[in-house]
């Protein structure tokens, strides 16, 4: 204990408390009072430190909860955006499927038209062949021109 300036105090202690202090075997009442005051100051400092730590932890917890809430809000926004993109992509896919089906139907119609035209062309070729055969003379003799007599 440091040799600071001493302050004299007077105190009365209940006898039941004093009886509980006797097993500690303090040399004097002064020693008991000084020991109790030192413990009280240390305990007060510890409690203040714990209070500061608790306040800091509370502030940290509040900050963490704010960050968590912000993150959750951003996640909800992202989920909404993902759902919008998903529905948009489904709509685009459906539109593309419709266009493909339309093109397939147009191609099948064109195929039918081409088949009809090819059949028609084949019949025209056959008829043209028949006409060419009818127009050809049956005898293919060589005739001299009229000015050649000999």
pLDDT, tens only, 113-150: 999 999 999 999 988 888 777 666 566 566 677 777 66
Predicted pLDDT at 137:
58
Q: Is the pLDDT of residue 97 over 60?
A: yes
Nearest Cα to 1, choosing from 29, 43, 25, 30?
A: 30
**In this model, does residue 31 exceed pLDDT 70?**
yes
Q: What is the pTM of this model?
A: 0.42
User: In this structure, what DSSP letter does residue 10 have?
Assistant: -
Q: Give buried/exposed letters for 10-43 (b at 16+ CB in 10 A, else e).
A: eeeeeeeeeeeeeeeeeeeeeebeeeeeeeeeee
The pLDDT, as a whole number, for residue 30 is 81
Domain positions in the chain:
15-131
The residue ranking higher by pLDDT, 139 or 98, is 98
Per-residue pLDDT, averaged over 9-16, amounts to 82
Q: H or E element: which one contains 35?
A: helix 29-135
Is residue 90 scored above 70 in pLDDT?
Answer: yes
- Collapsing DSSP to helix, strand or coil, 15 comes out as helix
Q: Tell me, rounded to whole angstroms, the distance of Cα 125 from its chain centroid.
A: 67
Task: Report the alpha-carbon distance of residue 29 to residue 15 in Å, rounded.
Answer: 13
d(CA 38, CA 35): 5
Which residue's structure tokens are 């940290």? 60
């Amino acid at each position: 204990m440091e040799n600071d300036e001493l302050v004299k105090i007077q105190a009365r202690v209940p006898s039941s408390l004093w009886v509980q202090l006797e097993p500690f075997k303090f040399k004097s009442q002064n020693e008991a009072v000084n020991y109790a005051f030192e413990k009280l100051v240390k305990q007060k400092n510890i409690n203040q430190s714990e209070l500061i730590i608790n306040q800091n932890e509370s502030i940290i917890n509040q900050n963490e909860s704010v960050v968590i809430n912000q993150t959750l809000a951003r996640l909800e926004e992202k989920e909404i955006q993902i759902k919008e993109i998903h529905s948009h992509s489904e709509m685009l896919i459906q539109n593309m499927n419709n266009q493909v089906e339309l093109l397939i139907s147009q191609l099948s119609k064109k195929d039918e038209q081409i088949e009809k035209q090819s059949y028609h062309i084949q019949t025209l070729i056959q008829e043209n062949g028949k006409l060419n055969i009818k127009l050809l003379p049956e005898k293919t003799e060589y005739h001299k021109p009229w000015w050649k007599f000999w």
